[in-house]
Structure 1
Amino acid sequence: RTYFPSSANFFISLMAPVITFTLSLVAWAVIPFDYGMVLSDSNVRILYLFAISSLGVYGIIMAGWSSNPKYAFLGALRSAAQMVSYEVSIGLIIITVLICVGSCNFSEIVIAQKQIWFGIPLFPVLIMFFISRSAETNRAPFDLPEAEAELV
């Protein structure tokens, strides 16, 4: 049995996790599992994956909005602002790798790393990627949405 607060918007509260889960499933359509084994074989797969991962912020905003208290919505906006701000740095990191490869195709990115893994010549970019990903997923020390007692 599912319980909802009486002040919560039932439809939005139900749709927030559905939208987030659907976006994560749709993202798998462009990830190759083996050579030639992919649902959608396009040359702009990495840009599609980046765009789909950027839409996940809507699920967070809907979850905060649906419960109706203003502090839940403000927390959701804070989390969404943090996700959007780190998406910019992740986009620039992806562009750096795409410039090194010269293509947006996942298979060509893998083939370009046949001689040397891009983590070695692009080590500072790799460190920036790990910092940005941990900040976007609200891991410590970037867990600002959960640290409301320290922020007030």
Structure 2
Amino acid sequence: MSMAPDRSSTTLAALLFLMIALCASAALSASAKEARSVVLVRLSPAQDAVLATGLLRGVLRPINGCVYFVNPAGTAYLAAWPHGYSLAMKGDIPIGVQDARSQRMLEFGATASFGGGHGAELLRSSLVATIPPACTGPIMTIHLIDQAKEQP
């Protein structure tokens, strides 16, 4: 009676487990790094008046290093925030967006109502800083109105 097949299958199972654990650890490290490197695209203080153009409902998501507004249909818009908004942090990890004036905070993924509207290249020229290259797609102005109440 030979023990070699049982021993090699145990060794193979242990190696497979280690490979899966290493891959999962690398994925978690990459997502944690992505979460720490999120930036908030902001309008220059002179452009804050362009915000009251419509009522929007959706969620905020960090995508490719920037904060995006995602509507119920799943379309993601790069969010351009007025002066006074910043990333809400838990330790050194961004967890949402906060309005410094009202102290209201919204975590990423929570449904809320926003004021804002679609922008074009003119809006891109009205930003405080250059948009990171990975943050692409349509852009819109946005500001927090209220976190949505749960639907029954």
TM-score (norm. length: structure 1) = 0.22
**Greater per-residue strand proportion:** 2
Question: Which has more radius of gyration?
Answer: 2
TM-score (norm. length: structure 2) = 0.22
